[in-house]
Structure 1
Amino acid sequence: MNWISEWALPKIQTWLGRREVPDNLWHKCPACEQMIFHRDLERSLHVCTHCGHHMRIPALKRVEYTLDPGFQRIELPKAPADPLRFRDQRKYADRLKEAQAKSGMDDAVVVAHGTVEGRRAVVAAFEFGFMGGSMGAGVGEAIVTAAKLAVLQDAPLIVFTASGGARMQEGAVSLMQMPRTVIATQMVKEAKLPFIVVLCDPTTGGVTASFAMLGDIQIAEPNALIGFAGARVIEQTVREKLPEGFQRAEYLLEHGILDMVVKRGAMRDTLARVISLLREPLLALAAPEEKPEAAAAEKPAPAESAAAVPAPPSAPAVKPVASPVPKAVPEA
């Protein structure tokens, strides 16, 4: 059999031509470690077909999975690139340029507007691959821009969060984005527009401590990690063993912090239904009243209505009884 592998097979490959096999045809699930063909993974919206694990996906994919075709991406304002001129092992400016070149984004958030099954919406999605989705001045500017756009277009604001928290390389500047984003969400609520937050894996740190927990409707993907500090830090602080599944989406739903846990395949339909429930009754109340002529034409005639409704039985007549009046007492 040696001559087959050493002589015959190379000759056959030479005649037919050698084909290069791409490296990304198969993907391994990080939960069950099963191999998934890339087309099957795309069809399942990057959800494992074996165990149902929801894999992390890019921000632009979330926008594509949520909005109808034809959505428009918004160009965001430029934020200071390196306000503190920070440097640890490398310059922050170099890390930022590397993340921008790798992701094709200016910062860790994508903002777009369009429709969700025909209903207008503004969507902001975090990119965890961009420095862990950390929140700096650029992210704060993106959330403020998305809120202003939602108010301008009279549309609900949907935010997909996937972040490790505030960006330490920007110091106090990143911490100031927490009140900025809270004020931005308040603008949306004052305009009587729905603010919907979809918590994805992971959502931690300053993002959780600010706008991510202020949604009118709080939704999460299955088994998403949601919290402020890490579980190990909490155990060391309280000196107690944390319960099973602590800081996971199902645990938070059970304890009333979330409104629902929705699988990625049903997320678009759920968002459309929530927007319909929150917006369409308000739009119906704001509609102009009917004209009096049309209302009079639709109103049935008095004779017909009287004939249709049977008269109630007459109550027995009751004679009024005069209350006894006390006689006047003569003065002494």
Structure 2
Amino acid sequence: MNWISDWALPKVKALFGQPREVPDNLWHKCPACEQMIFHRDLERNLYVCTHCNHHLRLTAAGRVKATLDEGWSRIELPKVPLDPLRFRDQRRYADRLKEAQAKAGMDDAVLVAQGSILGRKAVVAVFEFAFMAGSMGAAVGEALVTAAKLAVLQDAPLIVFTASGGARMQEGAVSLMQMPRTVIATRMVKEAGLPFIVVLCDPTTGGVTASFAMLGDIQIAEPGALIGFAGARVIEQTVREKLPEGFQRAEYLLEHGILDMVVKRHDLRATLARLISLLREPMLLAEPEPEAEALPALPAPEPAEAAEDAKPA
């Protein structure tokens, strides 16, 4: 008889109770400095590393909450055919969609919401990278068109937060057709005289970069965001040259005129509110300065004096 396992151990468990299960997501490892960060500290800091200020990826819902004032509302998006090509590789595309929907808690890769930013109304469309790498399919195109129509209807600027790997290959040509559709959506907003602001988050690549993401009136990026069309390795193999340090990063693109500004996540909300004010609110005309008093005119010379002055010396 093993008295330790049969008698002593049950007594100890009864005395102290069953051990509690510890969640796996209490600590997060920064991909830049590899420091461990407690999840509550990371949430309070908007998923910016407290050690090196590296900007970690933020969920679509978290980004909307960090950007819009309280009381914002989520927009119900039109339904689209889920699997237009009945695509199958190693798994059925329909099964991949169901898995992604369960994981991200969204119907597809874009969340559209309306609300205000520090009192200034706005419509936002936010990509969720966790949903099949934020790839752009028919549902994403429909979401951006819906956001553009809502912005025109609400007479509000449209702000799009991008984080995508590009077109969704499982939808083939249907996915590629979303590129011109999203460009048309941006034209709807601009023709209505409304600002179209793009915030490029990490990463923004492929067909998203090649379409609407580079057409903003104001182009903003978060620090260190990867922004480009093809991957750096593919470009190096094509041009057969070594790419410069920091190529396709936000700071490099800012130096070369692709971006208007690089803004830290903590300052982004105030920056967007300021831009909306500059682009939408009429500027107050300064009061005209009072006219300077005119100097008194000199008296005209007498005719005789004028004739004497005209004689040669």
Which runs of 5 or more residues in structure 2 are unaligned? 1-6, 307-313
Residue in 2 that maps onto 1:223: 224
Q: Does 1:15 align with 2:15?
A: yes
Q: Secondary structure at the match of 1:27?
A: strand
Amino acid at match of 2:173: A
Residue in 2 that maps onto 1:113: 114
Residue in 2 that maps onto 1:90: 91
Instruction: Pick one of 285, 305, 314 that aligns with 2:297.
Output: 314
Deviation per CA, 1:12-63: give whole Å up to 9, x if none. 6652333332222111111111110111101100000011111111111111
Q: Secondary structure at the match of 1:171?
A: helix
Q: Which has the larger radius of gyration?
A: 1
Residue in 1 that maps onto 2:132: 131
Residue in 2 that maps onto 1:81: 82
Amino acid at match of 2:111: V
Q: 1:319 to 1:201 in 2, by over 3 A?
A: farther
Residue in 1 that maps onto 2:154: 153
Question: How far apart in 2 are the matches of 1:115 and 1:124?
Answer: 13
Q: Once structures 1 and 2 are overlaid, which stretch shifts more, 246-255 or 82-91? A: 82-91
Please list, as runs of the form range in 1=range in 2, the aligned pairs for 1:121-270 lying within 5 A after superposition. Answer: 121-270=122-271
Question: How far apart in 1 are the matches of 2:10 and 2:224?
Answer: 49
Amino acid at match of 2:59: P
How many Å apart are 1:317 and its aligned residue?
A: 3.1
How many Å apart are 1:212 and its aligned residue?
A: 0.1
Residue in 1 that maps onto 2:4: none
Q: TM-score, normalised by structure 2?
A: 0.89
Q: Kindly, what percent of the aligned residue pairs are identical?
A: 82
Q: Secondary structure at the match of 2:108?
A: coil
How many Å apart are 1:315 and its aligned residue?
A: 3.9
How many Å apart are 1:71 and its aligned residue?
A: 0.1
Q: 1:242 to 1:8 in 2, by over 3 A?
A: farther
Question: How far apart in 2 are the matches of 1:313 and 1:177?
Answer: 72
Aligned pairs, number: 293
Q: Secondary structure at the match of 1:281?
A: coil
How many Å apart are 1:75 and its aligned residue?
A: 0.3
Q: 1:311 to 1:255 in 2, by over 3 A?
A: closer
Q: 1:71 to 1:310 in 2, by over 3 A?
A: same
Question: How far apart in 1 are the matches of 2:302 and 2:198?
Answer: 68
Deviation per CA, 1:233-273: give whole Å up to 9, x if none. 00000000000000000000000100000111111011001
Residue in 1 that maps onto 2:309: none
Q: 1:120 to 1:318 in 2, by over 3 A?
A: farther
